[in-house]
Copies of this chain bind each other. A is one copy, B any other.
Amino acid sequence: MAADPRSSGKTGEKPQSCPQPGGVEAAIACLKQRFTEQIATGEELRRQHANTLTLVENQPADAVFFAETTTDVAQAVQTASDFKVPIIPYGAGTSLEGHLNAPSGGICIDLSRMDQVIAINAQDLDCTVQAGISRDKLNATLRDTGLFFPVDPGAGEASIGGMAATRASGTCAVRYGTMREAVLNATAVLADGTVIKTGGRARKSAAGYDLTRLLVGSEGTLGIMTELTVRLFGRPETILSAVAPFDTIEGACLATSEAMQLGLGLARIELLDPLQLKAVNAHSKLSLEEVPTLFVEVHGTPDAAREQITYFSQIAKDHGARTFDWAEDEQERNRLWKARHDAFWAVKSAWPGRQAIVTDVCVPISRLAEAVVATQADIEALGLIAPIVGHVGDGNFHCIVMIDPQDTKAAETLSRFSRALAERAIAMEGTCTGEHGIGQGKVNLLEHELGAGLDMMRTIKRALDPHNTLNPGKIFDLAGD
């Protein structure tokens, strides 16, 4: 595919500034002059763009700007910088920690119109896309190439730019890595509107600071990624799926640890607890045993795939798997993994009227069983409804805590539970967030997790965004110090 000239801001370019004095109204007026059709201020639209999926209240921006090119983004960022107005990048609105809120108002930049594939370099196993493309659309576009993009957070509509900004991962990270490994380079707009490119398409590079990985996970606070080159993989020749129900959740975790320690190279290894299975059965019309269960998938050449699944079945049996059924049938496999991907919605429909808040700790694999068992004990002691689902091959698991909005103490109980969970993970040399990011929701936990390292982050932020216009109020509190 040829490069799409619409999408490229020349690097090093700084847009013309529009030096009017005043606040957010003046910035919006300035942008409206040039982009009449691309800016909207309706309340419903603004509130929808500040969807948090946490208990943090909705804090909408003052306007939503629909960018169509990197130059549009640069222009909007430059205008925001001139007027010292916050700018909040928006991909698909599926993030879980209040990344999209505008606590000090400002302008939301919606990148969803920037949804094109710019180039597929099949020989190099990479492609360059605009940041607003969804992972589903990218994979649909790749269908005829024999390649796929493996990073798969719960939401298929998640944008590649948003996934990079939050360092997202998903069920395949255990084999294919997270957005940290997936992004080869990015075109990004910095706080003053300058456009940079972080690198080339070589698989490795020792060329100075790793700007790509500094932007990945920076949650829009250091720059707005507008184009990304991401790694692709050949579709595996053989895919085998297995379901392994266990006597105990500890057994399931220990089987996972052992498989990882042996370096089996599983493509997916997901844990669902009995409550989660009950919801999944109801939602996806399945009849799986409602006991702790691992969903496993292996990818590879025919012999290698069969060899792996055979090794794993032995490990599973050693740790109390009741049965171990594996299949190569694509339809059956897709049905199972669709059910797994719908786990969140299954839980939502199992407890209608409740709000789902998702935790996200990640621990070294040797501590996984202990962490999950202790978490289950906490859930029981606090009387919470909180199915567990986890990308356990990475040591990452989620509790989907179902909050009763009528219960005035629910927020406090959740906060106590989440804090204890995160502190336990951190004490185990893990982290409070494996893949959802910090946003507004985990600012205090990050302070606890990193200590002095947080000051280094703040120093970088202040240097690269001296007026704190890029997604302020996320990752850390700058105002207080």
Contacts and interface: CB of A to CB of B under 8 A. Distances in A.
Interface in A121-164: 121-126
A166 B216 CA distance: 20
A185 to B, nearest CB: 9
A123 B301 contact: no
B463 A364 contact: no
A475 B429 contact: no
A122 B261 CA distance: 8
Interface string A306-338: 111001000000000000000000000000000
| Interface residue range, chain A | 35 or more
Given A194-B455, A429-B200, A124 B366 contact: yes
11 contacts: A125-B365, A180-B204, A180-B210, A196-B452, A196-B456, A200-B429, A202-B364, A203-B395, A207-B446, A209-B460, A210-B214
A446 to B, nearest CB: 6
A464 interface: yes
A479 interface: no
B453 A464 contact: no
A85 interface: no
Given A218-B209, A451-B12, A169 B433 contact: no
A381 interface: no
A196 B454 CA distance: 9
Given A121-B366, A211-B456, A366-B123, A199 B257 contact: no
Interface in A406-458: 425-426, 429-438, 442, 446, 449-457
Contact of A457 (B211, B433, B451, B457): B211
A69 interface: no
Given A124-B364, A213-B213, A300-B304, 11 more contacts: A11-B451, A11-B453, A12-B451, A124-B366, A196-B456, A207-B433, A208-B476, A209-B222, A214-B460, A303-B307, A459-B463
B366 A211 contact: no
A169 B202 contact: no
A168 B194 CA distance: 30
A208 B446 contact: yes
A62 to B, nearest CB: 27
Contact of A169 (B204, B207, B308, B431): B204
A362 B207 CA distance: 11
